Amino acid sequence: MKTIVTGSSGLLGRHVAAALVAAGHDVLGIDAVAPGDVAWRHATADLTDLGSTLQLVRDCDAVVHVAAIPRPTGRAGGEVFKTNVATAYNVVEAAAMAGAARFVYASSFSVFGYPFFEKTVRPPYLPVDMNHPVGAQDPYGLSKWLGEEIVGAAVRRGAFSAVSIRMPWIQTPASFFAGVGPRRATADSARDLWAYLDARDAGQGFLQALEWKGDGHLRVLLSAADTFMEEETEPLVRRVYPDVPLSRPIAGHGAVLDTVHARETISFEPSHSWRSYPKPELGK
């Protein structure tokens, strides 16, 4: 398909665009930053500007919307919210006007309230699945939830079919030990539900969402098959969340984000784990 990928210069967007190109899709990447030497066509634009978005998001079969400020830290909350919601609205409207048949939206497991809550969110049960209540508190999680609703509104009026993909912390072998390593030694790791997703698996998940044969608005949860912790999961859960019931046993280092629904709908199966990442050399 002729597919537009927004945010194609970022960590997630680059892996999504690469997965689509590798599968034979004709990709135009749109980002505010030039990506350098890549295997897809690129256009530089500010997608908060509706006019620019309408000019670029056209003549396509599908749109994959990844572009966003990826966290509520380091920027004013109002800027995060305004940018993410405006961009989602503009890209959805442009895709509808362009006659795209499929829309794939990069959402976040932060719509459940993790990990950026101010008032502590305790899971009603574990593993977390798609029946977990939405409970965003922060401007980023709220923007992602509203983005899903913007997509849903377009689906309801018959613009296209869509998949919204909820994900935890995106990681690569190059980023994991520097980013996750220090955090997993702190109590704040529980805010993440010890969850992560390899960027390559994320790219495959978006490809599978793009090629989904269903109709309507599907929402799925992706995750690595394991946690980012060295401790096994059930003892970890019992220690940190002693009163939270388990809906099923969690073997070994199994994740506390449940991807069964994603497997059943878009055939998603994670294949990468941090446990096989090359460890950095001492002193580097």
Domain-wise residue ranges, the chain: 2-276
Q: Which amino acid is at 115?
A: P
> Strand order of the sheet with strand 161-166?
41-44, 26-31, 2-6, 62-65, 102-106, 161-166, 217-221
> What are the 10-residue block averages of pLDDT along the chain, 284 residues in total?
97 98 98 94 97 96 98 95 98 98 98 96 96 97 98 98 98 96 94 98 98 97 98 97 96 98 98 96 64
Residues 6+ apart with CB under 8 A from 14: 8, 35, 38
Map residue 14 onto helix, strand or coil: helix
Instruction: Give CA separation, 101 vs 179, 261, 272, in Å.
Output: 37, 23, 31
- Residue among 147, 50, 262 at smallest CA distance from 155: 147
Instruction: Give CA separation, 111 vs 122, 130, 133, 170, in Å.
Output: 14, 11, 9, 16
Predicted local distance difference test score (pLDDT) of residue 282: 65
CATH of domain 2-276: 3.40.50.720
Cα-flanking dihedrals φ and ψ of residue 17, to 5°? Answer: -60, -40
Dist CA 217 CA 160 (whole Å): 9
Predicted local distance difference test score (pLDDT) of residue 168: 98
Dist CA 43 CA 59 (whole Å): 14
Map residue 87 onto helix, strand or coil: helix
Instruction: Give CA separation, 62 vs 17, 104, 145, 210, 236, in Å.
Output: 13, 8, 21, 8, 41
Model-wide pTM > 0.85: yes
Predicted local distance difference test score (pLDDT) of residue 137: 97
